[in-house]
Amino acid sequence: MKLFLPILFIFITLLIYFVMKRLYLRINHPLLVPIFTSSLLVACFLLLAKIPYGTYMDGAKWIDELLGPAVVALAIPLYEHRETIKRNILTIILSVFSGSIVGMISGIALSMITHVKDELIYSLAPKSVTTPIAMEISEIVGGTPALAAVYVMIAGISGAMFGPFLMKVCRIKHPISRGIGFGTASHGIGTARALEIGHAEGAFSSIAMTLSAVVTSFLCPVILSIFL
């Protein structure tokens, strides 16, 4: 039974994802992005079957372990577009720097306007970077790491869902601009979405994701100290 359940959970997770991906490819609606629909269906399955999350992760953790190699694989599009990155390095750095600051300030400002508790603001501020970094920043500034992880997922999934639509409305067509937008606002999930659009977008999104994490790590505590 100890071996059967992990294999079963891996199979169910992969099955749900592939079905949702095929549905998305057929209908191509923002609300049907596989990362959102598959996560929702897995959560519903666990709730209906009354399966503890820890039990589920005994098997699903092997899928989670693939995240590391997947991130390393982002070096491939970076290498392929290295000359373009070199020519536009200053633009990339300035764009990520300004985008990271806007992302933090906008979240903090909206939270203050809606009278959100300080603890939630401390957890919300680093929402646009990868989960481990966001959790560390949140803990340092006085937030709740678990809440920070939730906000990171919301930022990533919402960016993957509505990013292409917003860029179309704002008439943002250049691969560099698109990639930087996804990587700065929606970290790894946004980068995966950018790769679906094109290799160039994926390359610039991955470098934006990395630089955004560095900028946020240094400036988030400073910005929070100014506002709160």
* pLDDT tens sequence across 21-57: 999 989 888 888 888 899 899 999 999 988 888 888 8
What pLDDT was estimated at residue 204? 92
pTM of the predicted protein model: 0.84
| CA-based radius of gyration for the chain | 18
Mean pLDDT of the 124-150 span: 87
Count of C-beta atoms within a 10 Å radius of residue 165: 10
Count of C-beta atoms within a 10 Å radius of residue 211: 20
Q: 160 vs 15, 36, 84, 90, 188, CA distance in Å?
A: 21, 9, 24, 26, 10
Given pLDDT bands bounded at 50, 70 and 90, which one contains residue 142? confident
Look at residue 130 and tell me whether its pLDDT is greater than 70.
yes
Given pLDDT bands bounded at 50, 70 and 90, which one contains residue 96? very high
What are the domain boundaries of the chain? Answer: 4-65, 73-227
Mean pLDDT score across all residues of the chain: 88
What pLDDT was estimated at residue 2? 62
Look at residue 140 and tell me whether its pLDDT is greater than 80.
yes
DSSP character at residue 174: -
Separation CA 221–CA 199 (nearest Å): 34
55: CB partners within 8 A, 6+ apart: 5
Separation CA 228–CA 107 (nearest Å): 13
**Dihedral angle sign, alpha carbons of residues 221, 223, 224, 228:** positive
